[in-house]
Amino acid sequence: MPDAGLRWRVPDVPGVFEAASAWRHPQPFLEVVRQTYGHLLLESLGGTYSWTIRPANRDQFRRAGLTTLGEYIDRFLQDDPRPLPYLAHVSVHRNLPALKRYLVPPPEFGPNWVDEPRYDRWSGPEIYVGRRGCYFAGLHVDHCNVHVGFVQLSGRKRFTVFPPADGQYLYTWRGVQFPYQRRNSAVRLFQPDWAERWPDACKASPRVIDVGPGQGLVLPANWWHVTQVLEAGVTWNVRIVNHTNIAPFIREHLLGIPRGIGLAASRLRDRVAGRKPAWP
């Protein structure tokens, strides 16, 4: 087992490990959330990148007739057959702060220099709750060369991951937020015709990793990933910055400055020319 210190090394390839003691509370996670934060409005929840729930998610909850986090958890736990959208990007620091002390990162996550509220823009520990069939379809890498640690608090999730070098085959596009990295892929792996629509993606080398209850996973920086829920459950994830990636983490922020200037200039040129601006 690696030391949680400077001797820690990020794995070359993501792998599953036991992390059953990550949740240090005698009651199941969702029971504690229900008791402590069941009153929260679903519309008030949000994660690292936007701090508000995604508009599409908000519509899903409205259509499902759900208003509070407690209603959501009740429907989830009671196996209620009515539809239940994926509850994604719930910020631990902002929405569930009293639970933070019970979520103890396993040693495999290594040291994390940004896992505190003031650095939440980078670490953003988040919770995902979903039933079988829920998925996160947008193939991407996380921002600024962070590693990402996951623990399945319950249920089972499938990660489809690609090594960083596969980005050349994945029809990438630039993120709209600083530092404007090309860290999103147009490929939609859950569409049955993805191989015809994005043929270069067939040259890539995906790996499928299933993470079960009480298991963890570390995705090294810049591994592409999508996820799907195989068995209803809860995922906790946190982004990691330490001695292994602090230099590229800072470099990515610095690169965002000329990228931002270039993007602003191209938007200005489009406006002057009367063209519809296209996001590169």
User: Where does this chain bind Fe ion (CB under 5 A)?
Assistant: 142
Q: Tell me how far apart the alpha carbons of residues 173 and 196 are, in angstroms, rounded to a whole number.
A: 19
Cβ neighbour number for residue 92 with a 10 Å cutoff? 23
The DSSP call for residue 114 is T
CB of 119 to Fe ion, least distance (A): 17
Rounded to whole angstroms, how far apart are CA atoms 17 and 1?
A: 10
State the chain's maximal CA–CA distance in angstroms: 63
Burial of 254 (0-12, 13-18, 19+ CB in 10 A): exposed
Q: DSSP H helical segments within the chain, as ranges?
A: 29-37, 55-63, 69-77, 92-95, 120-123, 194-197, 246-273
CB atoms within 10 A of CB 193: 8
Please report, for residues 20, 65, 79, 87, 137, the alpha-carbon distance to residue 58 in angstroms, rounded to integers and kept in the order given. Answer: 32, 11, 22, 10, 17
Spatial separation of the C-alpha atoms in residues 142 and 146, rounded to whole Å: 7
| Residue appearing with tokens 């990402």 | 148
Compute the distance between CA of residue 228 and CA of residue 133 in angstroms, rounded to an integer: 7
User: Can you give 29-68 as a three-state secondary structure string?
Assistant: HHHHHHHHHCCCEHHHCCCCCCCCCCHHHHHHHHHCCCCE
Closest-by-Cβ residue to Fe ion is 142
